[in-house]
């Protein structure tokens, strides 16, 4: 039997750093551990983040704007720290060890957060009326725990999906086809964890107590870590390829140094090593492309590029190294259009929850559903649409588009953007109806009104549908279009749209609060939403989403997919 039939051809190794054997490692046998890990980790994350705005209001006595901004700032940090984890994974540690180290920090953060909500002295004191007052030290411990969790997510978010995709050999056509379905199942497992979190855990937090409600997510995170290590002997590991930021800097420096040099018409004269594999660890060679020709100057050979027959990497770079940088730059416009979508998505844990707090939460005479639990309809939507997309939508679309996957990745993301616009319209219409009910019945000073909270279900369901198209398409797009040795970094880049979206939400809320409260006015988002205009805020997001979609259409038409590698 040939060696190619025994070992993987994509350069992966096993946990012992030996070439990965096809029949003993990777594939779905390894992915079940990765999917189980992600399910437990997402249960932990959403178990404490879904209802965080209510925790900050109830336990730390923060107002609507302050609590909302603290949640979006923290959420944004959770999606910025992946840049740290991705850099370490691609440059030095590899995805396996990055997940292992950062998940330990994650568990410590979850444990401290649980203690801050349950241990006397660390948790805020509450009076007989239920009003809580936290000391500055208690607030500090709470936010220390939250930002430890944010750091812990930085090593998991950018690596887990890429690590799962690494279990399928791209050079094997059979395994390559399975990889696309992995991303659907990956997002499916994310939402199984989210479903339990937004239903069971939120109810426990609001009816049993925050100690139990946060302790269970902490235990779930510990189980996630144990589950991850249990599959170690089955994993395929991509070797770290060295600092991607250094390689990017080398291309930029070399191209600037040679800014006066003419690029040859014959592109085969550009520098590339003669070996079958690239000189970048874990990366295959890339074909030359015509975009950003100024960067090609970094690969033009001159006599001064060599020192004693050795190449000076700050003066001469390979075509593959240049194409790596081009590939990252090519992703940036698509990345930017994901920011507004992430802002819309972030409303589920802030403005949707605050809107739900004003509605009737009763199911029957004795049971109340917490407003944060309505996010379970977002989760149910994802769990419904993910398999429907794979089983029905793709075959139907394939008949009309001729594309193997039904839609291209960019088309898939664009459909999600359209659905998110509709979701904001629906949320705005509900708020108009709610305020009209308040006005007609003079309920301005009532904490809740008799309109059922289940009128919010359509907006949650639509956001979930949009996720299946945009977020899953985005995960697959950034993995597929990323250079081999930069996949963690590019996965982290895709996640930073969530960070930017969260920070944009904070900025919008802050600006809206300041502008609309001038001259003594209550503003759009006062403490008493019955006297505000939350609907105007939803209309603002609708308009921004529409403009964003039009820009996206122009970018998608301009974008050219990554060319096939040579010498695989």
Q: Give pLDDT tens digits for 439-485.
A: 999 988 888 888 999 999 999 999 999 998 998 888 888 888 887 77
Q: Are strands 362-363 and 367-368 parallel, antiparallel or unpaired?
A: antiparallel
Question: CB neighbours (10 Å) of residue 64?
Answer: 22
Q: Taking 90 as the threshold, does the pLDDT of residue 83 lie above it?
A: no
User: Cα angle at 405 between 401 and 409, to 5 degrees?
Assistant: 90
CA–CA separation, 459 and 209 (whole Å): 28
pLDDT at 145: 93
Contacts of 249 (CB under 8 A, 6+ apart): none
What mean pLDDT comes out for the span 63-78? 84
Q: Taking 80 as the threshold, does the pLDDT of residue 320 lie above it?
A: yes
pLDDT at 5: 67
More confident residue, 289 or 460: 460
**Phi and psi angles of residue 494, each rounded to the nearest 5 degrees, phi first:** -65, -35
Biggest CA pair distance of the chain: 87
* Helix, coil or strand: residue 266: coil
Confidence of residue 568 (pLDDT cuts 50, 70, 90): very low
Burial (CB count within 10 angstroms: exposed 0-12, middle 13-18, buried 19+), residue 29: middle
pLDDT > 70 fraction of the chain, expressed in percent and rounded = 95
Tokens of 402: 């001729």
What mean pLDDT comes out for the span 252-278? 83
Confidence of residue 540 (pLDDT cuts 50, 70, 90): very high
* Helix, coil or strand: residue 562: coil
Q: Taking 80 as the threshold, does the pLDDT of residue 548 lie above it?
A: yes
Tokens of 201: 């855990």
Confidence of residue 229 (pLDDT cuts 50, 70, 90): very high
CA 281 to chain centroid: 26
First to last CA, the chain: 20
* Contact (CB, 8 A) for 351 and 64: no
Q: What is the pLDDT of residues 84-118, one digit of tens each?
A: 888 888 878 888 999 999 999 999 999 999 999 88
CA–CA separation, 206 and 51 (whole Å): 9
CATH architecture of 13-241: Up-down Bundle (1.20)
Q: What is the pLDDT of residues 141-163, one digit of tens each?
A: 999 999 999 999 988 888 888 88
Confidence of residue 429 (pLDDT cuts 50, 70, 90): very high
What mean pLDDT comes out for the span 256-275? 84
Q: What is the pLDDT of residues 501-514, one digit of tens each?
A: 888 888 998 899 88
Cα–Cα distances in Å, from 459 out to 323, 348, 422? Answer: 42, 9, 8
Question: CB neighbours (10 Å) of residue 553?
Answer: 14
pLDDT at 115: 93
pLDDT at 1: 45
pLDDT > 90 fraction of the chain, expressed in percent and rounded = 27
- Determine what percent of the chain falls in helix, strand and coil, rounding each to the nearest 5: 70, 5, 25
| Domain spans, the chain | 13-241, 244-323, 350-481+517-561
Mean pLDDT, the chain, whole residue set? 85
Confidence of residue 11 (pLDDT cuts 50, 70, 90): confident
pLDDT at 34: 92
Q: Taking 50 as the threshold, does the pLDDT of residue 566 lie above it?
A: no
* Contact (CB, 8 A) for 38 and 56: no
pLDDT at 333: 92
More confident residue, 174 or 380: 380
Confidence of residue 520 (pLDDT cuts 50, 70, 90): low
User: Cα angle at 32 between 28 and 38, to 5 degrees?
Assistant: 130
pLDDT at 567: 45
More confident residue, 395 or 130: 395
Confidence of residue 282 (pLDDT cuts 50, 70, 90): low
What mean pLDDT comes out for the span 541-561? 92
More confident residue, 566 or 373: 373
Q: Taking 60 as the threshold, does the pLDDT of residue 261 lie above it?
A: yes
């Amino acid at each position: 039997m040939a060696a190619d039939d025994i070992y993987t051809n994509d350069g992966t190794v096993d946990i012992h750093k030996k070439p990965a054997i096809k029949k003993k490692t990777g594939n779905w046998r390894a992915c079940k551990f990765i999917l189980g890990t992600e399910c437990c980790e997402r249960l932990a994350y959403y178990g404490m983040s879904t209802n965080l705005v209510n925790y900050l209001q109830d336990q730390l006595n923060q107002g609507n704007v302050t609590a909302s901004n603290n949640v979006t700032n923290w959420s944004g940090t959770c999606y910025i720290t992946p840049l740290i984890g991705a850099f370490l994974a691609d440059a030095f540690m590899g995805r396996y060890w990055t997940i292992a180290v950062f998940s330990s920090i994650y568990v410590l953060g979850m444990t401290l957060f649980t203690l801050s909500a349950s241990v006397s002295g660390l948790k805020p004191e509450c009076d007989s009326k239920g009003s809580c007052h936290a000391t500055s030290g208690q607030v500090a411990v709470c936010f220390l725990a939250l930002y430890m969790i944010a750091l812990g997510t930085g090593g998991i978010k950018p690596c887990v999906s890429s690590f799962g995709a690494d279990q399928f050999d791209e050079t094997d056509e059979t395994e390559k086809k399975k990889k696309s379905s992995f991303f659907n199942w990956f997002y499916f497992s994310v939402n199984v964890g989210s479903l339990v979190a937004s239903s069971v855990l939120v109810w426990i937090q609001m009816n049993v107590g925050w100690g139990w409600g946060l302790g269970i997510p902490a235990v779930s995170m510990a189980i996630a870590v144990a589950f991850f290590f249990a599959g170690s002997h089955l994993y395929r590991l991509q070797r770290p390829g060295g600092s991607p930021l250094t390689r990017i800097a080398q291309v930029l420096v070399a191209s600037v140094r040679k800014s006066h040099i003419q690029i040859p018409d014959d592109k085969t004269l550009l520098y590339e090593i003669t070996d079958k594999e690239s000189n970048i660890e874990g990366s295959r060679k890339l074909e030359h492309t015509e975009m950003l020709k100024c960067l090609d100057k970094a690969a033009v050979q001159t006599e001064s590029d060599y020192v004693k027959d050795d190449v000076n990497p700050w003066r001469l770079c390979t075509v593959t190294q240049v194409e790596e940088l081009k590939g990252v730059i090519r992703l940036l416009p698509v990345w930017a259009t994901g920011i507004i979508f992430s802002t819309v998505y972030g409303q589920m844990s802030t403005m949707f929850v605050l809107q739900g707090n004003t509605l009737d939460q009763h199911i029957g005479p004795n049971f109340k559903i917490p407003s944060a639990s309505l996010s379970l309809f977002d989760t149910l939507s994802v769990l419904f649409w993910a398999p429907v997309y794979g089983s029905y939508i793709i075959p139907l679309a394939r008949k009309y588009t001729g594309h193997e996957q039904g839609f291209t990745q960019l088309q898939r993301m664009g459909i999600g953007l359209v659905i998110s616009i509709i979701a904001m319209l629906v949320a705005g219409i509900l708020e108009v109806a709610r305020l009209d009910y308040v006005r007609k019945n003079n309920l301005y000073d009532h904490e809740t009104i008799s309109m059922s909270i289940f009128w919010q279900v359509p907006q949650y369901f639509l956001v979930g549908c949009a996720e299946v198209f945009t977020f899953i398409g985005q995960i697959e797009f950034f993995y597929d279009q990323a250079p081999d040795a930069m996949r963690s970094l590019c996965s982290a880049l895709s996640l930073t749209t969530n960070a930017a979206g969260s920070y944009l939400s904070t900025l919008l809320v802050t600006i809206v609060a300041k502008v609309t409260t001038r001259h003594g006015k209550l503003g759009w988002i006062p403490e008493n939403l019955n006297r505000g205009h939350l609907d105007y805020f939803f209309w603002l997001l609708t308009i921004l989403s529409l403009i964003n979609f039009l820009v996206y259409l122009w970018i998608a038409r301009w974008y050219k997919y990554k060319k096939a590698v040579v010498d695989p």
